[in-house]
Amino acid sequence: MLKSVNQSTLPHFLCSKCDFTHFCASKETCAEHGKRHLTVSNRTTRLKPNEVFQLQKTKPQTLYAIQHGAVKTYQLEADGREIIRGFFFTGEAFGYEAIYHGYYPFTVVALSDTVICELAYEDVLRVTHTNIDMQKQLLSLTSQQLTMGSYLRSSTAEQRITGFLIDLKKRLSLNEVKSDIQLPMSRQDIGNYLKLTAETISRICSRLQRKKIIAIDRKRIKFLQVDLLEKIAAGLMLA
Amino acid sequence: MLKSVNQSTLPHFLCSKCDFTHFCASKETCAEHGKRHLTVSNRTTRLKPNEVFQLQKTKPQTLYAIQHGAVKTYQLEADGREIIRGFFFTGEAFGYEAIYHGYYPFTVVALSDTVICELAYEDVLRVTHTNIDMQKQLLSLTSQQLTMGSYLRSSTAEQRITGFLIDLKKRLSLNEVKSDIQLPMSRQDIGNYLKLTAETISRICSRLQRKKIIAIDRKRIKFLQVDLLEKIAAGLMLA
DNA sequence: CGCCGTATTGAGCGCTCTCAAGCTAGGTGG
DNA sequence: CCACCTAGCTTGAGAGCGCTCAATACGGCG
């Protein structure tokens, strides 16, 4: 099986600059293969909130890893609205689509102070080609992208929002056990992502708060009853 | 760039049994690397319509390629409804999710008489490891999966349905220039896939027919004005 | 021919959207 | 320090799209 890696090591690559271990099949091989082969382009970019990240338009041969911070990727709809394709946080990487497309079919904007690190395909491929475990690992990562955002397929607004919150909780509290998170994005962004309006996000969140399932203070969300949240997301109950 | 392959060669692998060339970076390397390295498991399975395909539950170490026919993959929702994850047709492959998950998170059912061919990961990895172009090709294929079904993110029923029809037209008429297709799946299946009801599919299709944009006779669909269909799918106009 | 699953069509309802009006927190300048 | 301003969030009322429920039509198959 390709899933030979410990789940807890997944959220990180390892390069000389960052703390990513995504390309390591295990912690043991990290120091060896990561350090030795994955000498990634030293380029890092610092972004302020709302700043647009300039992607390689001409020769898209890099994956982008988020060293610290958060970004959203989006396309513009014909009517000018944003279609948000995804959010990416500390320790995550984006740009897989360009492997096939040959270009990045989206714009990237920072949601907070963010540092982005470039992983040249050449370097990545060199590592993965030398080491078959690394190759499996890269495939696994790309495959993982396929499973992201399954809650987007839920039918009701309640299911999509609760699914989104659960996903966010997992991704924003890496290795930590926290019962609350700080939303990096606006209600409007969430709405554009989940195909709902900002008003609907507000209303449903207020309802979840009235039912004591979560507590909201602006962008801070406390999870009071995760079990109920999961049942709602799964369509097993209504709030 | 990884996209070094001709678009027209993409929909096929090459193995001793099938006619798939997915793992060939170009037609020239096909005969050499495809034939030599990709000695795929000889196992093929024949399915009748509505027959469930038995996936490897214990050791999921294969990709599945469709030699001929059509399948749907789905999960069961808590309330018993099917969540259709995707349709796969002649020349396409599924099972990429298992690379990460370690198991196939869905059930597979044939929509018509279908022949499925197994591609063992070991064989695939052996080929890709020996040949870096093959490796790029596999990555590219997995990456491609990420870009599938973008119309699912459209907001209106009209956009989702027209986007779906355009996608189907491309995938069902490989290399051929046809202005009509035969739907392999029921209205209910389409509805479950697009998160709409079968009635809504019917109504919208009837409307498209009244506007002379398509012509429907049961499962046969003629495309009368593809340009209009694309405008509707893009949200540039209403039917 | 009669049966049954699938598709179509209609009527009414409900969820989410639209539009609009407050509300709150944070920033700016006097 | 406070008045003011602004952007984002919340909340409400009404409209519209897609859903539910139901009746009918159609086709394949025994």
Give pLDDT tens digits along chain B (239 positions).
Answer: 333 332 222 233 344 444 454 544 444 444 444 444 344 555 788 999 999 998 877 666 788 888 889 999 998 877 777 889 999 998 888 888 887 778 888 999 999 999 888 877 777 777 777 777 777 777 777 777 777 888 888 889 999 999 999 999 998 987 677 889 999 999 999 999 999 999 999 999 999 999 999 999 999 999 999 999 999 998 888 77
Measure the CA–CA gap between A71 and B194, rounded to whole angstroms.
28
Across all residues in chain A, what is the average pLDDT?
79
Q: Measured between alpha carbons, how far is residue B161 from residues B146, B202, B236 in Å?
A: 20, 10, 15
The highest-confidence range among A100-109, A124-133, B25-34, by mean pLDDT, is: A100-109
Q: What pLDDT, on a 0 to 100 scale, did the predictor assign at position A33?
A: 45
Q: What is the pLDDT of residue A20?
A: 53
Instruction: From the CA of B93 to the C1' of C17: give the distance in Å.
Output: 39
Chain A residues 13-42 within 7 Å (CB) of strand C: none
How confident is the model at residue A210, as a pLDDT?
A: 94
Residues 6 or more apart in contact with residue B7 via CB below 8 angstroms: none
Percentage of residues of chain A with pLDDT beyond 90: 39
Give A20-60 pLDDT, tens digit per residue: 545 444 444 444 444 444 445 557 889 999 999 988 776 66
How many residues appear in chain A? 239
Q: Which residue of A has its CA nearest to B156?
A: A195
Determine if strand D comes within 7 Å of the CB of B77.
no
User: Would you say A71 and A185 are in contact if contact means Cβ atoms under 8 Å apart?
Assistant: no
Q: Would you say residue A8 has pLDDT above 50? A: no
Give the bridge partners for A83, in sequence order.
A75
pLDDT value, residue A60 = 65
Please write the tens of the pLDDT for every residue from A174-228: 767 788 999 999 999 999 999 999 999 999 999 999 999 999 999 999 999 999 9
pLDDT of res. B58: 67
- DSSP-derived letter for residue B90 is T
Nearest to B236 among A78, A98, A102 (CB): A78
Nearest-by-Cβ selection for A144 from B1, B3, B100: B100
Task: Test B135 with A132 for CB contact under 8 angstroms.
Answer: no
- A98 contacts in B (CB within 8 Å)? 143
What is the C-alpha R_g of chain B? 19
Residues contacting residue A118 through CB under 8 Å, at least 6 positions apart = A40, A41, A43, A44, A45, A62, A63, A64, A65
Task: Please give the sequence-ordered ranges of beta strands (E in DSSP) within A90-138, or none if there are none.
Answer: 93-94, 107-110, 114-120
A136 versus A192: the higher-pLDDT residue is A192
Highest mean pLDDT of the ranges A13-17, A64-68, A89-93, B107-111 = B107-111
Instruction: Tell me how far CA of residue B209 lies from CA of A94, B7, B86, B222, B229, in angstroms.
Output: 41, 32, 25, 10, 11
The pLDDT value given to residue B86: 93
Partners of A94 in the β-ladder? A64
- What is the reported pLDDT for A188? 96
- Candidates B63, B83, B99, partner chain A, best to mutate (most A CBs within 10 A): B99
In this predicted structure, what is the pLDDT of residue B42? 58
**What pLDDT is attached to residue A53?**
93
Q: Are B113 and B184 in contact (CB under 8 A)?
A: no
Q: What is the mean pLDDT of residues A99-107?
A: 83
Two tokens at B113? 């008489």
Q: What is the pLDDT confidence band of residue A102, given thresholds at 50, 70 and 90?
A: confident
The reported pTM is 0.83
Q: Which residues 184-223 of chain A have a CB under 7 Å from nucleic chain D?
A: 186-188, 198-199, 201-203, 205-206, 216, 218-219
Measuring CA to CA, which residue among B238, B31, B41, B44 is closest to residue B154?
Answer: B238
Cα dihedral B203→B213→A101→B114 (10° resolution): 60
- Residue B49: per-residue pLDDT: 92
Of A82-91, A122-131, A210-219, B48-57, the least confident: A122-131
Closest residue, chain A, to B191 (C-alpha): A155
Distance CA B199, CA A174 (A): 44
Residue A2, SS3 per DSSP: coil
* Strand ranges in chain B using DSSP code E only, listed in sequence order: 44-47, 52-53, 62-68, 70-76, 82-89, 93-94, 107-110, 114-120, 180-182, 214-217, 220-223
Rounded Cα–Cα distance for residues B12 and B29 (Å):
14
Q: Positive or negative, the Cα torsion across A62, A65, A69, A70? A: positive
**If you write DSSP's letter for every residue of B126-189 in order, what string do you get?**
HHHHH-HHHHHHHHHHHHHHHHTTGGGG-SSHHHHHHHHHHHHHHHHSSS---SEEE--S-HHH
Strands A220-223 and A180-182: what pairing? Answer: antiparallel
Q: Which amino acid is at A71?
A: V
Q: Which two tokens stand for residue A180?
A: 């609350």
Q: Which residues partner with B114 through β-bridges?
A: B47
Our CA-based measurement puts residue B218 at a distance from the nearest CA of chain A, in whole angstroms, of 27
Q: With a 7 Å cutoff on the CB, does B199 touch strand C?
A: yes
Whole-number pLDDT of residue B41: 53
Nucleotides of D under 7 A from a protein CB: 8-13, 17-22, 27
Mean pLDDT along residues A96-102 = 80
Q: For an interface test with B, which of A3, A57, A99, A192 has the most B Cβ atoms less than 10 Å from its Cβ?
A: A99
List of B residues 101-130 with CB within 7 A of strand D = none
Q: Which residue is nearest to nucleotide C17 (CA to C1')?
A: A197
Question: How far, in Å, is the CA of A185 from the C1' of nucleotide C28?
Answer: 25
Give the neighbor-by-neighbor strand order of the sheet with A114-120: A44-47, A114-120, A62-68, A93-94
Q: How many residues does chain B have?
A: 239
| CA closest to A76 among chain B residues | B234
Q: For position B100, what pLDDT does the model report?
A: 75
The pLDDT assigned to A187 comes to 97
Q: How far is B239 from chain A (nearest CA, A)?
A: 16
Residue A42: the pLDDT is 58
Beta bridge partners of B177: none
Which chain A residues have a beta carbon less than 8 Å from that of B121? Answer: 2
- Asked if the Cβ–Cβ distance from B143 to A101 is below 8 Å, we say yes
Q: Give distance CA A219 / C1' C26 (Å).
A: 14
Residues of chain A (157-216) having a beta carbon less than 7 angstroms from strand C: 157-158, 191, 195-197, 199-200
| Contact flag, residue B205 CB and nucleic strand C, below 7 A | yes
Distance from CA of B41 to the nearest CA of A (A): 17
**CB count, 10 Å around CB of B91?**
21
Tokens 């993409």 found at: B10
Q: A119 and A63 in contact (C-beta within 8 Å)?
A: yes
Instruction: Report d(CA A97, CA B235) in Å as an integer.
Output: 23
